[in-house]
Amino acid sequence: MDIDDTPDEAAFRAEVRSYIEANLHLVARHSTEYPETKEQELLYRQTQKVLYEGGLVGAGWPTECGGRDATGIQQVIIGQEIGRAGIPPLIGGIGVGMCGPSVVVHATEKQKALLPRLLDGTDVWAQLFSEPGAGSDLAALSTKAVPVEGGWVVNGQKVWTSGAHYASWGILLTRTDTSVAKHKGLTMFIVDMTSPGVTVRPLRQLTGQSHFNEVFFDDVFIPDENLLGPVNGGWGVALTTLMNERMALGGGGGFGSDITALLKLAQEKLPKLDEGQQAIVRQDLGRLYAATLAVRWGGFRRLTSLSKGETPGPEASAGKLIGVSLVKDTVATACKLLGSDAAFAESADGTGYWQYMQGSLPGWAIAGGATEILKNILGERVLGLPQEPRLDKNTPVASQPQTADPVRSASNGAPVLQSTGA
């Protein structure tokens, strides 16, 4: 394992850093992770455009799709330098990191013509996967697409869809065949989010933001030309998306960066605690610092693989799993230091950083695969343990008991759960 840049990597890093520093005056400088107002949304779009013009968005994509054929380690270097400059996450991050790679691999040439507007921030894309009854078990989804003249009609509901309220397009996973096992009857579409019958409702989160959404599809027509991949081949397309998602969340060793902020908080708060409390917090700080180093060095191992041109495997799941646990413990220690101040939206000094982190944790723990799912991946694909029994794996969907199906209330349009079978 080598933690230093090669000469070529160092030169590339200098190029990226130089461009960012020369254009920092053009990018958004807000502390919020996602835009909360229309004005902020426009600034975030401008930020992505500036970065794209410097070749820093979708850099790993083929040149014919708007990228620069950058290597995996070059993409990591770009992400590191953007983070170092304090630039907020891309408004089109979901599209660039998760939806776009699936389009690059599976789309027709006409569909690929949409990609430049995704990269420069003109269009934001949403990932329409999870449902109220199909979260970690994505293949159990029930949103249906029925063939009609010239296309398909879609009915159903998606939930926890990041950025859907300002998205122009999305990739939509649907069920198109119930006569086969759940993984085999899925089809992926590219959907215009302005289509008649698409309703987006933001969901208020613990942080006070409304970045997640629930999305309803009521007789939404999608033309045949918007099929992404083959009919009933949607699971393969979805796997492309999910692999990119887990690499983005756990492949680069980005978790653990909050230890510096925690140590700064401890310097301020420790003198105000009694000796017993100080001893406990110091033990926590030592343990967390050691854990941060472990996560960081694990990230270096994955980066070394990228630097050698190797493809990271399931270890990205381990990076995400361990990283989330570390962030949880870090935030818990910060809340000990804050005391009763942690219960308010902002600390006494006017910042709400640790409160925001605390409110975000439940979502981060689930995003990219819940803990139990990631442990299954590591157990089965890394350790070679027997697969969990899956009684419905080869059973046609139509013969399985139906549980809950989201429908609209006729009185106010709010989603309710209605039983559709035993």
Superfamily of domain 251-382: Butyryl-CoA Dehydrogenase, subunit A, domain 3 (1.20.140.10)
Candidates 223, 210, 243; CA nearest to 105 is 243
In the structure encoding, which two tokens stand for residue 132, read together? Answer: 């109220």
Radius of gyration from C-alpha coordinates of the chain:
23
In the structure encoding, which two tokens stand for residue 218, read together? Answer: 């009521």
- Selected residue with higher pLDDT from 202 and 248: 202
Listed by start position, the domains of the chain span 7-91, 126-233, 251-382
Tens-place pLDDT, residues 221-234:
999 999 999 999 99
On the question of pLDDT at 19 being above 90, the answer is: yes
Tens-place pLDDT, residues 367-398:
767 788 888 888 988 889 998 887 777 789 88
Which residues share a beta bridge with 213? 202
Which residues share a beta bridge with 419? 404
In the structure encoding, which two tokens stand for residue 251, read together? Answer: 């492949």
Distance, in Å, from the CA atom of 407 to the CA atom of 420, rounded to the nearest integer, reads 10
On the question of pLDDT at 191 being above 80, the answer is: yes
Kindly report which listed range (211-215, 284-288, 357-361) carries the lowest average pLDDT score. 357-361
Q: Is residue 408 classed exposed, middle or buried when 0-12, 13-18 and 19+ CB atoms within 10 A define those classes?
A: middle
Across the chain, what does the average pLDDT equal?
85
328, 320 contact by CB (below 8 A): no
360 to 257, 340, 342, 367: CA distances (angstroms): 16, 19, 14, 11
Please provide the distance, in angstroms rounded to a whole number, between the alpha carbons at the two ends of the chain: 55
CATH for the stretch 126-233: 2.40.110.10
Number of H helices, E strands in the chain: 13, 9
41, 91 contact by CB (below 8 A): yes
Tens-place pLDDT, residues 90-136:
999 999 989 999 999 999 999 999 999 999 999 999 999 999 988 77
Tens-place pLDDT, residues 27-84:
877 656 778 888 889 999 999 999 999 999 999 899 999 999 998 788 889 988 998 8
Candidates 361, 261, 287; CA nearest to 269 is 261
Give the distance from CA 402 to its chain's centroid: 29
Distance, in Å, from the CA atom of 329 to the CA atom of 203, rounded to the nearest integer, reads 27
Residue 114 in 3-state DSSP? coil
On the question of pLDDT at 420 being above 60, the answer is: no
Tens-place pLDDT, residues 140-162:
999 999 999 999 999 999 999 99
Candidates 130, 128, 175, 138; CA nearest to 153 is 175
Most confident of 69-73, 202-206, 329-333: 329-333
On the question of pLDDT at 173 being above 70, the answer is: yes
- In this prediction, residue 241 has a pLDDT band, given cuts at 50, 70 and 90, of confident
Give the distance from CA 312 to its chain's centroid: 18
Between strands 125-128 and 169-175, the pairing is parallel
Kindly report which listed range (1-15, 177-191, 336-350, 401-415) carries the lowest average pLDDT score. 401-415
pLDDT in the model for residue 305: 65
In the structure encoding, which two tokens stand for residue 85, read together? Answer: 């400059």
Which string of DSSP letters, residue by residue, matches 156-205? EEEES-TTGGG-SEEEEEEE--SSSBTTTSEEEEEEETTSTTEEEEE---
Q: What are phi and psi of 408, to 5 degrees?
A: -90, 145
253 to 167, 324, 399: CA distances (angstroms): 29, 11, 44
pLDDT in the model for residue 412: 41
Distance, in Å, from the CA atom of 100 to the CA atom of 170, rounded to the nearest integer, reads 10
Distance, in Å, from the CA atom of 165 to the CA atom of 193, rounded to the nearest integer, reads 9
What amino acid is encoded at 106 in this protein?
A: H
pLDDT in the model for residue 314: 64
Tokens 């709400």 sit on residue: 352
Distance, in Å, from the CA atom of 248 to the CA atom of 263, rounded to the nearest integer, reads 27
Which residues share a beta bridge with 404? 419
Q: What are phi and psi of 124, to 5 degrees?
A: -105, 140
382, 110 contact by CB (below 8 A): no
